[in-house]
Chains A and B, each alone.
Chain A
Amino acid sequence: MRRLSLSGRLALLFAACTAVVSLLAGVLFSRASEAHFIELDQQLLDSKLMTLRSALQGASDLQRFAERTTLLQAELSHQPDLALRIQGPDGQTWFDSTENLPLPAPIGSDLHSLHNADNAYRVYSAALEPGNPRSAKLTLMLDITHHQHFLQRMQHLIWLTVGLSALATALLGAWAARSGLRPLRRMSEVAAGVSASSLTQRLPQDQMPAELANLARTFNDMLGRLDDSFQRLSAFSADIAHELRTPLSNLLTHTQVTLTRPRALEDYREALHSNLEELQWMAQLVNDMLYLAKADHGLLTPRREALELADEADMLLEFYALLAEDVQVSLAREGSGRLKGDRSMLRRALSNLLDNALRFTPAGGQVRVSIEERPGGLRLSIENSGTGIAPHLLPRLFDRFYRADPARREGSSEHAGLGLAITQSIIRAHGGQIHCESGRGWTRFVIELPTKD
């Protein structure tokens, strides 16, 4: 079953509320008018009773009563809606003002209502001489049919009001809800318009009502993140194609040119060697990209070996010592720390950073690894002297295929620009963070790794 729409739901709720409120008001009003009528009737009957008592003064038996009948008739003729029965002390009926009085046999002494098929009456009984137990008994009946009709009309009117007001509020409520929910519809329009090619649309956050501003902000943030990831992803695919195109075209051209005519053996060998270099570069690129793809899918699951970071750093520095000596850069390590992590992954991460640092340190410079234990974590930084990196480039350093030096030849056999991205993936797989800071004459990569288990 389809769920009721929000505006439909609101309209129904409004209608129900109005119905309940108007019903309550109507019931109260009709109760009050009824009570008011009873009070009026009581007063009327009380005054009639007084008049009758004085008119029938001394009529203690039927004989004496008969003498006063004329007076009584005259009195009653003033009040056509009033009927009267007088009974003697023995219960014998002395007088009925009209024939066929619809009176039930015993009547209490207080005021109450009586209904028959056509009419409604207010009935009131009292002794003719109060205080005398042998007194004759008066029963007064006031025809209140027109009051009852009025009350019934009132009730109909109340029901009509309830119905009409409920209907009216339902309609008005539906309209109000629809216009109140317009921002939601706008949100859904934006959401409907979002596709891979149009992630740039945003909700007008300032124009949203307070209740929706938060949702709109969350929604916009989500769009922002999607847009960002998507941009990176499409840039990545474009970069892959671009990176592979250069070596592929080299391979194609070189092979085709080599095959166009017979050549000396040495030329073939040279061609194959050259192709081999391109192919190796491509194989390395594919392997690196697979590694990153695994990291993206959370498939890089580091082992947790107990590592002494100082030892690991020293081993890497030893590995790079020859290279450093070759480019006349000194290597140093300070501090130490323990960590549970994946040895070969962390070595790869640090090795990328060292390799990077060595490439950008001028002769006579220094590369320093510092390890610092901190509460809950470990801070490892690799700092090198050199020209430094412009601040606006720092966040982009870890982007795939990003090269700080745009002059580097594409498809060079050295680096595809994935090293820092791989390092970042490894650090993240260990639950850590890496960032780069740079100033005049120095650059520092800082890794923060958690040490808790």
Chain B
Amino acid sequence: MKLLIVEDQPKTGHYLRQGLSEAGFCTELVADGISGQHLALTGDYALLILDVMLPGRNGWQILQAVRAAGLDTPVLFLTARDAVEDRVHGLELGADDYLVKPFAFSELLARVRSLLRRGSAAPQETSLQLADLRLDLIRRRVERDGQRIDLTAKEFSLLEMLLRRQGEVLPKSLIASQVWDMNFDSDTNVIEVAIRRLRLKIDDDYPNKLIHTVRGMGYVLEERPA
């Protein structure tokens, strides 16, 4: 999985590259629009992360060139500009997603994973599993260590999301958006409460905890050595 980052601010570029590399992606970073466009057109990338304001050629021009060349590489825009017209413009040109600075890295990572997943059609799973936790998608049942656990519909959706993206840190905003369809910045602690209640049902009675809080970033479902 090779990603191209075109970002002219050295610090931002460096940290993006480091973060994405450590998340297991192979990344390339260029700082100007012209080499960015050249690489985007010649290299074989799974995803382009473009800043809008770039020296040489701006992000939109790169996107246009990429689409004009018949490439359907997913494109994620990063920008400090937050005008609705900008957003519409970017999406009209064929951008796949849009993040406004300042953004949380966990948010970026989650969106990158979503975009990459979009390409590869996930096989129709009938159940999801982590350690002794098992979620049956057809019968909508959850078991841990063979014990059946009763979940509400929202708790089920939440757990399904955590299981599908196990090992990923999921920011609260992403959870609110995916599970409750609440797509706005909200500083409410609804998600904390929801996670706490889910933990009460699936984690509290078991020695190895599966839901973990990553302070300041979100939640992750994974098996950790005790």
Instruction: Tell me whether chain A's interface is mostly helix, strand or loop, or mixed.
Output: helix
A310 to chain B, nearest CB (A): 16
User: Is A318 at the interface (CB under 8 A from chain B)?
Assistant: yes
Answer whether A287 and B102 are a contact pair too, CB < 8 Å, given A322-B193, A322-B194, A323-B189.
Answer: yes
A side interface size, CB within 8 A: 31
Interface of B is mostly: loop
Q: Is A347 an interface residue when CB atoms closer than 8 A count as contact? A: yes
Contacts of B102 in A (CB 8 A): 283, 286-287
Assembled-state Cα–Cα distance A273/B83 (Å): 31
Bound together, the chains give a CA A347 to CA B184 distance in angstroms of: 8
Q: Does B217 contact A (CB under 8 A)?
A: yes
Note all chain B residues with C-beta closer than 8 A to A322. 154, 190, 193-194, 197
Does A301 belong to the interface (CB within 8 Å)?
yes
CA distance A348 to B184 in the complex (A): 6
Which residue numbers of B lie inside 8 Å of A, CB to CB? 82-84, 100, 102-104, 154, 176, 180-190, 193-194, 197, 215-217
Q: Does A315 contact B (CB under 8 A)?
A: yes
Chain A residues near B104 (CB, 8 Å)? 280, 283
- Within 8 Å by CB of B217, from A276, A283, A315, A323, lies A276
Interface assignment of A115: CB less than 8 Å from any CB of chain B: no
Select which of A277, A294, A301 is within 8 A of B82 by beta carbon: A294
Q: Are A320 and B190 in contact (CB under 8 A)?
A: yes
Question: Within the assembled complex, what's the spacing in Å between the Cα atoms of A301 and B183?
Answer: 17
Q: Which residues of A contact B185 (CB under 8 A)?
A: 284, 287-288, 348
- Taking each of B181, B183, B189, which has the highest tally of chain A beta carbons within 10 Å of its own beta carbon? B189
Whether the Cβ atoms of A318 and B154 lie closer than 8 Å is: yes
* Docked complex Cα distance between A359 and B130 (Å): 36
Smallest CB-CB separation from B179: which chain A residue? A319
A344 at the interface (CB under 8 A from B): yes
Chain A residues with Cβ below 8 Å from B180 are: 315, 318-319
- Min C-beta distance of B197 to chain A, whole Å: 6
Known A-B contacts A284-B187, A287-B102; A326 and B193 likewise in contact (beta carbons under 8 Å)? yes
Q: How far is the CA of A320 from the CA of B189 in the complex (A)?
A: 9
Question: A355 on the interface (CB 8 Å rule)?
Answer: yes
Q: State A301–B83 Cα separation when bound (angstroms).
A: 10
B194 closest partner in A (C-beta): A322
Complex contact A276–B184 (CB within 8 A) = no
Residue A414 interfacial (CB < 8 Å): yes
